[in-house]
Amino acid sequence: MRRALVAVVAVVSLGAARTHAQDSFDSDRRAALAHVAVIEQAYAERLGPKGAEWRARVKSDEQAFTGALDWFSRNAEGDQALRIADPLAYFWSNDGRTEDARALLTKVLALPSAAASTAVRAKALYDAGLLAFRQGDQQASRTFNDESLRIYRRLDDTGGAAMALLGLSRVALRDLDYASVRKYAEESAILSRQMSDKHGEATAVDMLAAIARMQGNYSKASELYQFSVDVYRDAGNDMAVATGLFNLGSVRLRQRKLDEARKLFIDSLQQYRALDDDAGVAFSLIGFANLAVEQKQPARGARLYGAALAMLDHLGITLDPDDQREVDHYTAKLLTLLPADAFDAATREGRSTSLDRATALALDAH
């Protein structure tokens, strides 16, 4: 009788332990899922009026987000881990942590539990491809975007496929493979048009504009960039508008319409500053540096190049091919106006200049 009673007590205790363990697991999972909801909301509102507030919150709660990500990784819930890793990588890269962001995505994408062909994986692959592109890693970017495209097509996700095609188009542009750029971008535009996605179509048109710009067809590039800017304005995408204004300014500069170029660069810079986007500010400074060369102000241009490139180096960002072409062109002109040692000294001075001081130098009309 005593043995039977002991056995009953043991069974009851074991059941209670199992119940407690299950309750603890369920509680931990609910907490981790709550962090997923928060960071996905932060990502969804990243470009809106609460963008700065969300960036601050993601930064202050980083340990909680990485803890939830680790919990999902340990418990073989790769899809949920990706739902945290992908937006977290975005915020890290925009905070200058491009290397960390790419390493995070690569690690989570490699989890066996994250291998299923889901839309979440496809989006993370596209974003990993974008980070690789920004670091100049062409092969990795192509591989990530290829897999992203395959998954989106398997899922019959037209919008996702259009996005992945743009990723492949960017890679082709850096390879100067204009035929492939056009093929991918035109297919992306067609898919976007099928969904009445004007914004997606405008993004594809930007790639066609980049081809025209790099081939010296500035009239066509201007027409295409203006189309995109108008669409982005209607959609309220201030970040894309800022980029479009910078691109238009670069075209106007090539057309030697210096006053128009300067106004466009000012508008772009002001929008980037309002969005607290240091990378965008750096790109705008490159526009002003190019303008300074045309204005026969080589030392000023060199200082602006130094400040802009120092910030992009800090952020781990490699120039896009169309922008690199502009820098190469105007730097060559600058070196006909300024001795190499003076250029080096001015560039070094610029690299030690704060972004605020560099911005003031850019906006100084003299």
pLDDT of residue 1: 56
**CA nearest to 89, candidates 80, 79, 97, 78:** 97
For residue 164, give the 3-state DSSP assignment.
helix
What is the Cα–Cα distance from 147 to 50, expressed in whole angstroms?
33
* Predicted confidence band of residue 365 (pLDDT cuts 50, 70, 90): low
User: Other CB atoms closer than 10 Å to residue 331's CB: what's the count?
Assistant: 18
Q: Is the model's pLDDT at 9 over the cut of 50?
A: no
> What is the pLDDT confidence band of residue 48, given thresholds at 50, 70 and 90?
confident
Residues in Cβ contact with 279 at an 8 Å cutoff, skipping those fewer than 6 apart:
94, 311, 312, 315, 317
b/e string for 6-34 if b means 16 or more Cβ within 10 A? eeeeeeeeeeeeeeeeeeeeeeebeebbe
Q: Is the pLDDT of residue 23 over 90?
A: no
Q: Please spell the DSSP secondary structure of 55-105, one letter per residue.
A: HHHHHHTHHHHHHHHHHHHHTT-HHHHHHHHHHHHHHHHTTT-HHHHHHHH
Q: Where residue 366 falls among pLDDT bands split at 50, 70, 90?
A: low
CA distance 298 to 293: 5
- Tell me if residue 131 falls in helix, strand or coil: helix
Query: pTM for the complete prediction?
Result: 0.84
Number of C-beta neighbours around residue 183 at 10 A: 15
Residue 101 or residue 49, greater confidence: 101
Other C-beta atoms closer than 10 Å to the C-beta of 159 total: 15
Instruction: Give yes or no for residue 266 having a pLDDT over 60.
Output: yes
Report which of residues 139 and 365 the model is more confident about: 139
Q: What is the mean pLDDT of the chain?
A: 91
What's the pLDDT score for residue 24?
78
Per-residue pLDDT tens digits for 58-117:
999 999 999 999 999 999 999 999 999 999 999 999 888 889 999 999 999 999 999 999
Local structure of residue 110 (DSSP, 8 states) = T
